[in-house]
Amino acid sequence: MFQKLEAVEKRYDELTKLISDPEVISNQSEWQKYMKEHGSISDIVEKYREYKKVQKQMEEAKEMLYDKELKELAEMELEEAKEKLPKIEEELKVLLLPRDPNDDKNVICEIRAGAGGEEAALFAGTLFRMYNMYAERKHWKLEILNENETGLGGYKEISFMITGKGAYSRLKFESGVHRVQRVPDTESSGRIHTSTATVAVLPEVEDVEIEINPADIKMEVYRASGAGGQHVNKTSSAVRLIHIPTGMVAECQTERSQVQNREYAMRLLRSRLYEKEQAEQDAKLANERKSQVGTGDRSEKIRTYNYPQSRITDHRIGLTIYQMEDFLNGNLDEMIDGLITADRAAKLSSDEEE
């Protein structure tokens, strides 16, 4: 580990010189590339230098033990350093874990009603509201790409983009089946029903990351539809894109302009194709390290929302929170922090085994 840290620190020093070089500054694309790399390793270098500083203090304290006048002070400093070093070492291990290259990206989320009919559609609406409120808390921007509303205010499906720093890093563990146990408003006898909705969280990808041949795209236009109001157009502005080789479909009908709807549908299609490509790569690399938490299996039941007990349980990490209203109002950080911590622990354990 320490050989790796030395190499990172050496690279950091090289980059510090490069980003101050007038010749490099004059080439903005090169300067930005170096700045990005410099920023990505600055936390590691800062923590490693803190480690070396504490280590030096420990060595100095050991030498001071032989001085009768300074012995008491030396013992205190030595004890303090011995407590600090293991903590810093653990923090360094976490910082050295390979970063998910998608972590800083915006996300495209898709929520689909599952088993449970109208109640499942209402639950899909509850989940959308929850993520919308979480995005507001984080000062992220949310844009609806496509929606298929039901008469009672739920969604058969809804797709939306969340734009903001680190959006994917916080939301990627939300992919999977969410299950709700509650008494539906439509149920007169007061029985608890179980319904599900599926959430998919995809990183937004650029053209350069996944190439789509224009000849492989079939575009259809149609009139936007919905529960009424502003989303229903009299012109054919809604767009459906079909990727012929895979049969994958992406739709957008939320904008008045056909051009904008096509642009949003292309973003959605790119992200879906990227996800498919990533899944195929993971399947081929059977020996690749995988997180025990999981980020993408849409068939995996990940969480239960039990209304009678005001309980939300994440089945992957066994974490239960008893604050239903607060959680559904977008206060997801405790759950998300728990998932991130479990993922890191799984990766650290995998590192140690190797």
Q: Is 231 a residue whose pLDDT tops 60?
A: no
| Residue 286 or residue 75, greater confidence | 75
SS3 label, residue 274: helix
Which long-range contacts does 13-17 make (Cβ < 8 Å, 24+ apart)?
15/41
Half-sphere exposure at residue 71, Cβ-oriented, CA atoms within 13 angstroms: 4
Taking only the tens place, the pLDDT of each residue in 113-153 is: 998 888 999 999 999 999 999 999 999 999 888 888 887 88
Check residue 286 and give its pLDDT.
45
Give the mean pLDDT of 331-338: 94
* Dihedral sign from CA coordinates of 66, 70, 72, 76: negative
Check residue 329 and give its pLDDT.
96
Taking only the tens place, the pLDDT of each residue in 78-90 is: 988 888 898 888 8
Q: Is 209 a residue whose pLDDT tops 70?
A: no
As a residue count, the chain comes to 354
pTM metric for this prediction = 0.65
Domains in the chain: ranges and CATH:
2-96 (no CATH), 107-208+299-347 (3.30.70.1660), 214-283 (3.30.160.20)
List Cβ neighbours of 39 (8 Å cut-off, separation of 6 or more).
none
Residue 45 tokens, joined: 């270098």
- Lowest-pLDDT range of 16-20, 225-229, 250-254, 279-283: 225-229
Cα dihedral 286→99→89→318 (10° resolution) = -70
* pLDDT tier, 324 (very low <50, low <70, confident <90, very high otherwise): very high
Give the mean pLDDT of 238-253: 86
